[in-house]
Each structure stands twice: as C-alpha cells, then as structure tokens.
Copies of this chain bind each other. A is one copy, B any other.
Amino acid sequence: MTDVTVAIAQIDTCVGDIAGNIDKIVDFAGEAARQGADLVVFPEMTITGYPIEDLALRGSFQRAAEHGLSVVAKRLVEEGHEHLTVILGTLGSLALSDHVQMPRPTNRAVVLSGGSVTAAYDKHHLPNYGVFDEYRIFASGDTTTVITVGGHRIGLAICEDIWQDGGPVKNLEDENIDLLVTLNGSPYEEGKRQQRIDLAAQRAAALGAPLVYANQVGGQDDLVFDGGSFVVGPSGAVLARAPKFEEHLLLWTLTDSPHEDHTGDVTEFTDLDEEVYTALVTGLQGYVRKNGFTSVVLGLSGGIDSALVAAIAADALGGENVYGVSMPSNYSSQHSQDDAADLAQRIGAHYRVQHIAPMVDAFQSQLNLEGVAEENLQARVRGMTLMALSNSEGHLVLATGNKTELAVGYSTIYGDAVGGYAPIKDVDKSRVWQLSRWRNTVAVDRGDIPPIPESSITKPPSAELRPGQVDQDSLPPYDLLDQVLDAHIEHEEGREELLARGFAPEIVDKVVSLVDRAEWKRRQYPLGPKVTALAFGRDRRVPVTSRWREPNH
C-alpha cells in the first residue's frame, strides 16, 4: 500500500447551476492535483447543488445532471488528471425502494477515475424531518460500496448515513476498510459543530478507520452550510479541519500505518457570537448572489434591528452595495433619524430620506383609517416604497424583522414583512443586542469604526407607529419573552411544561396566545395563496436560489 493524499474540496455549489458547479469541480480537482492529491472528495450532490427539492423529479434536470457528469469526466482527462480519483455527488438513475411510491432518482456518490465512472454509491438513509424531505424525491440505495485507492480499501457514505444506526456504515464494519469517505450537505445549526465530530469519531471507532467528512459551504436558499470539513481518527482525534463559512481545499494523507498525529491543518473553532454572525453574513451573501442581485435596499429606522441587518449586509456585500432608506412618519423621533444617518455613514452605505407623510395622507384622505389599520398603513407605505426602489433600481429588498417580533406577530403583512430575504428572522431580540455589541467590539479591537450607533443599542425599542409607543408597553421584558419563546417554539413545550419551568401563568398565557395568533395570521396571508382547488398545478418545491432554467435556445 502507498500513501494516499486526500484533498477535501469544501466548495459552495449553486442549486441548478450545473455548468458553474462543473467549472468549480474541475478547478478544485486541478488545484488538488497540483498540490499532490491522489484522491479528491467533494460534498453531497456536487454537480446539481443541494438541496434540489422537486427539481430532482424533472426529467430535463435529470438528463442535464447525467450529461454534466460525463462533461466532468471528460474535462478531468483533458486537463491531465486521469490519475486522480475524484469522488463527487450527483443524481443517480431512477429506482424504486421501500420509501417511494413511484420511481425516483437516487442521491449518488460517483467515483471518477481515468475518465470514467469506476464505482457509485447511493445514499441509504434519507433524512425526512425538519428541513429535509428526501423520501419525497429520492429512492434509497441498498448496497455497500468499497473502492481501492493505492491499495487502501475506502468505504463510501453520504451524510445521513452516519447519523442513523445500521445500514451501510454498519455493514462496512465487516469490510476491513482503511478509510470512510463521507459526502455531506449538512446545514449550520448552533451547537452542531461538535456534535458532528463526536458522531464521526464514534463511527470511526466502530470501523477502526479514519473518517473523512467533506461538507458543503455557503448560503443556499433558506439554509446556510458552514463547511468545517474534517478528518477524524478512530481514537477520536481530529486529524485535519477546514475553516468554516469559506471555500477551502484541505489536504491530509492516509498512510499505511495510520497514527493519530495531526497530519493536516486543524483550524480552531471561533467563538459562538462570531460563528452565528458569520452564518448570517454567509446566508445573506449566498442568497443575494445566487439570485443574481448585487445590491440590497432596506429601511433604516434608527432602531437596533435594521442597524444589525445593515451591518450584516455591509459585511456581506460591501457598504457601497447597501442602500439605506430612512422613511420617517409624523411619529418618528429626530434621534431615530439621526441614528439612521449615523449608521449609514459608519458602514459606508448609500442613504436617503423619504418621508411617508404624503403617501399616508393620500390614503387617509380617502380611507380614514384608525387603530391597527392606520399603523399597518404606515408599514405598508414603507414596504411599497422599498419595492418601488427595488423595481426601479434593481436592489433586493431586505426585511429587518427579528425572530421575537415575528413570533409574537409584531409585524405587518405586506408592510415591514416585505422583502426577499430576512437576515435576522431567526435571531431573537436578545441575540440582536448581543450580536450588535459583539460586532462593535470586534471593530474596536481592529481599530475600525463600530458600525452600529451606541444609541441604537441602548434606547428602548419602539415601533414608532403611535406617539410615545415603546415595545415594552405591550410585551413582557425581552429577556423573559425570549426565554419563554425558546422553550415554546424551539423545544415545543406546551403550557404545562412552561409552567413546570417556573414561568408565571400570566406570562405563559400571554406568550402562547400571541404566538398562536401570529402563526395563524402569517399562514393566512401567504403570498400567492397555495390554493389548488383542482389539486393540479400545485407549487413545486424548488429552492428560491436555483439557477436551473429549462433548456432553451
């Protein structure tokens, strides 16, 4: 047996952009070869991008993926890499399995060598919970695949295969393998970085062989893939690890007598605030770029939410691609407008002021709205203004709502909910403050100007839809509210469990009923109602950022 240098190509694919993905695969394979790699491992579904949802079911897309694989094989040879073994992911051919009522493609790992496909493995365990619905679109594989490279026996698995007991990874325990290679499309979750390594170490121990974990990176639709690819040995030692949230080529060598020394670079983890903030930047960047936009527009209220979103956008796209609009009403305070202008200057964003009174007055002279209808009117005039600027100048609109206010329904449909991307939709108010402070501290540490005005962080939050209104008039304190919401929404705790935790009954009842009502209101006004009275023509589930277009002239 000879030493085998393994390169993990941690790349950012784009769903449906088969040509672009192929270029990236060939580039990274070439660079790996130049650096002496014998084997290159790509993430899950490399040629097609991931997750492809119902695109998997389109005949034209299946054919394009099949053709794409032959293009990759040909180009690798043309560029002189016929001796390189390349493992990548793509759609497999149609098959039936226990889980599918009609033929479905498989989620496949393909081994390319010398210009042809020398082996293939079809994902066995298909995740079908949370953000995953893979039973809908894939047939399951039922075989175990072992390839030989430089005399080493290498087993293959795809993502969920290592998260579930049994199946191919269990079968490989009897195959005396020297290495397990896994292709992954594992989205970022708080706390998951260590969980992945612990799990991989457990599988490596059972197999008595190191495990290569190649993960996708980049924002794709509603998911952020964090990369952080690694190699873990059977004793649990991390032998190599790539940075998170960036493309990377990680090299590590499989030797005849594997030892537990670090044989590759091991990137250290960052602190949690940095990790979460970078996830938000990565998600925004991917969504904007993969949708073909270069700039964003958002309302700057002077408050903390829009300030954090603007800072994230400036970090993702550069301040020159961020267009901030202050849209004061008669209820907006001067200090809010000052804070908005200050923020824009700090991050180098474009800035303009558009008073909403002329439009609000025009509606009011016709409709005489009061109460919530009047508050919503203000929010909707702002939403329309942003959409008008989007239509005329080509920016993507960002919605600035945070998770707490969306959860309790402090948001206006077709108003501040307007937008193609909501960067902090999944960040609660407590964390909005925390991340804002963290981002400012980092700037100070670097000798930069802190992006977020101090007064946006310290002043009491207000929607400024009525004179003197502040959020705490009608909501529990945010630190308490966020604790109850976390237990109720993330941990699915009902009233009984919440009371058992010691939350006061009046707080629990208030929060639970706000969330119920907000969930219902949000579902009630879907954009493009999903009604299919005739049960045909149902909306396909296709990632927003898919670049797939039907073949055309």
Interface residues of A (CB under 8 A from B): 57-60, 98-102, 125, 127-131, 133, 135-136, 164, 187-190, 192, 219, 222-224, 276, 279-280, 282-284, 287, 291, 354-355, 358-359, 361-363, 365-367, 369-370, 372-373, 376-377, 380-381, 383-385, 387-389, 391-392, 396-397, 399, 403, 406, 411, 413-414, 417-423, 425-427, 489-490, 492, 494-496, 505, 509, 512-513, 515-516, 519-520, 522-538, 540, 542-544, 546, 549-553
Contact = CB atoms under 8 A, between A and B. Distances in A.
Contacts of A354: 366-367
Contacts of A526: 420, 527, 544
B392 A369 contact: yes
A509 to B, nearest CB: 5
A414 B426 contact: no
A509 B553 contact: yes
A516 B553 CA distance: 14
Contacts of A528: 399, 406, 411, 417, 422, 425, 522
Nearest to A489: B537
A284 B363 CA distance: 30
B550 A494 contact: yes
A420 B526 CA distance: 6
Contact of A279 (B376, B513, B527, B533): B533
State the number of copies, please: 2
A101 B540 CA distance: 25
A529 B128 contact: no
A424 B489 CA distance: 34
A388 B377 contact: yes
Contacts of A406: 528
Given A425-B531, A532-B425, A367 B388 contact: yes
B129 A136 contact: yes
A294 to B, nearest CB: 15
A538 B369 CA distance: 34
Given A370-B392, A399-B529, A426-B531, 18 more contacts: A57-B492, A58-B492, A101-B129, A102-B129, A130-B535, A130-B538, A131-B538, A219-B533, A222-B530, A354-B366, A363-B385, A373-B388, A376-B387, A414-B418, A426-B536, A426-B537, A490-B536, A520-B546
Contacts of A495: 60, 550-552
A520 to B, nearest CB: 8
For A361, A535, A551, the residue with the greatest tally of chain B CB atoms inside 10 Å of its CB is: A535
A128 B102 contact: no
Given A420-B524, A528-B425, A384 B380 contact: yes
Contacts of A540: 519
A135 B414 CA distance: 34
B421 A509 contact: no
Given A392-B369, A549-B516, A535 B127 contact: no
Given A128-B101, A490-B536, A492-B58, A365 B358 contact: yes
